[in-house]
């Protein structure tokens, strides 16, 4: 028997200030907060995933790492809205060579992508893909 992976359950990041982290991610992405406590917070990311955020006081920003996670938004208009808010409200720069990669105020690298025909299919449960009769080139 081999292991069967069903998807990604969550992504965890660290921030230097949990209240500021909560405010930033809710403002930029409109994330729904599922739960929070002393030094942590959890946000809904899509249907079956969540973002776990943990406070680490005194952390230093590391802008040298390429570790990142991607957030999928609806379309180019929403990517533009994210870009504008990052620059105008938070003074954050995009990472050159990418449509919408940036580092949050604590150094976490985020890549924002939009839905397109090929990626929409991955949002559906497999049984829905089967019902729709979608075939993949192989």
Residue 128 has pLDDT above 70, yes or no: no
- Specify the number of domains making up the chain: 1
**CA-to-CA distance for 40 and 15, rounded, in angstroms?**
9
Is residue 112 included in any domain, yes or no? Answer: yes
pLDDT digits (tens, 9 = 90+) for 65-74: 888 999 988 8
Is residue 28 included in any domain, yes or no? Answer: yes
Is residue 38 included in any domain, yes or no? Answer: yes
| Domain CATH code at residue 16 | 3.10.180.10
Is residue 26 included in any domain, yes or no? Answer: yes
Residue span of the structural domain in which 100 resides: 10-57+68-131
pLDDT digits (tens, 9 = 90+) for 84-112: 999 999 999 999 999 999 999 999 999 99
Is residue 103 included in any domain, yes or no? Answer: yes
Is residue 91 included in any domain, yes or no? Answer: yes
Is residue 29 included in any domain, yes or no? Answer: yes
Is the pTM above the cut of 0.85? Answer: no
Is residue 95 included in any domain, yes or no? Answer: yes
């Amino acid at each position: 028997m081999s292991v069967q992976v069903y998807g990604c359950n969550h992504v965890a990041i660290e921030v230097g200030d949990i209240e500021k982290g909560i405010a930033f991610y809710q403002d930029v992405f409109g994330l729904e907060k599922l739960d929070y406590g002393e030094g942590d917070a959890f946000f809904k990311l899509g249907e079956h995933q969540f973002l776990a955020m943990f406070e680490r006081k005194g952390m230093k920003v590391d802008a040298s790492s390429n570790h990142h996670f991607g957030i999928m938004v609806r379309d180019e208009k929403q990517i533009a809205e994210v870009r504008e808010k990052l620059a105008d409200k938070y003074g954050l720069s995009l990472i050159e060579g990418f449509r919408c990669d940036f580092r949050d105020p604590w150094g976490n690298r985020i890549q924002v992508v939009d839905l397109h025909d090929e990626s929409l299919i991955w949002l559906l449960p497999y049984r829905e893909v089967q019902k729709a009769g979608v075939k993949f080139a192989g």
